[in-house]
């Protein structure tokens, strides 16, 4: 099996078992990706190379306890950002890099806010198309955080009816959002 066909998860498993070759494969696979991320923020070749080296040394030193809950590339991208911030705070990186980093986060944050608002608007438009009782049950459950029993008492219906309304509302949301 060639290096290119070995999955990251398998390489991480080998790494946890002290396999230095797995570290080398991961390093070679992701070096350019990490350099690109770091250089976009710092515009400083030696600093970027130092950051990548430090991240992989830390990965090797902590290989036994390494817990990655996202893709390895996402883990590395986050590691680069954190290391850049750490270097800026320690004064080892010019302050101009901090300004570039802040601008990048503002752009990402603004885009995420726009996407979140669009999703919320879409969900609300779907909920508003539900029958009045179903909409009322959904809003009491999701927006007011009431239990099925509390909703049943408030609306003078059975808990089973509350459950049926929520099932219908969630089914409609899943269908309309494309999660069928």
Per-residue pLDDT, 91? 66
Q: State the DSSP code for 93.
A: S
The whole domain housing 138 covers 129-176
Q: What CATH number did the domain enclosing 85 receive? A: 1.10.1740.10
Number of domains making up the chain: 2
The model's confidence at residue 170, banded by pLDDT at 50, 70 and 90, is confident
Assess whether 104 and 151 both reside in one domain: no
Q: What CATH number did the domain enclosing 144 receive? A: 1.10.10.10
Spatial contact of 48 and 97, defined as CB atoms under 8 Å apart: no
C-alpha span between 28 and 143 (Å, rounded)? 48
Residue range 110-161, pLDDT digits in tens: 555 666 677 777 778 888 899 999 999 988 888 778 889 999 999 999 999 9
Backbone angles phi, psi at 65, to 5 degrees: -100, 0
Assess whether 16 and 73 both reside in one domain: yes
Asked if the model's pLDDT at residue 63 lies above 80, the reply is: yes
pTM over 0.75: no
Spatial contact of 16 and 64, defined as CB atoms under 8 Å apart: yes
Assess whether 29 and 85 both reside in one domain: yes
Domain membership of residue 123 (yes or no) is: no
């Amino acid at each position: 099996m060639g290096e290119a066909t070995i999955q990251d998860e398998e390489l991480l498993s080998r790494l946890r078992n002290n396999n230095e070759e797995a570290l080398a494969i991961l390093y070679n696979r992701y070096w350019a990706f990490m350099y690109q991320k770091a250089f976009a923020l710092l515009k400083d070749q030696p600093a970027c190379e130092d950051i990548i080296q430090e991240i992989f040394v830390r990965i090797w030193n902590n290989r036994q306890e390494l817990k990655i809950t996202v893709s390895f590339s996402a883990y590395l991208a986050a590691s680069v950002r954190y290391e850049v911030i750490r270097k800026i705070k320690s004064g080892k990186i010019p302050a101009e890099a901090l300004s570039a980093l802040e601008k990048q986060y503002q752009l990402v944050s603004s885009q995420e806010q726009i996407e979140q608002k669009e999703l919320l608007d879409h969900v609300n438009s779907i909920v508003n198309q539900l029958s009045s009782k179903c909409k009322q049950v959904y809003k009491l459950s999701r927006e007011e955080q009431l239990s099925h029993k509390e909703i049943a008492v408030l609306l003078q219906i059975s808990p089973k009816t509350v459950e049926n309304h929520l099932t219908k509302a969630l089914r409609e949301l899943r269908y309309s959002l494309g999660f069928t």
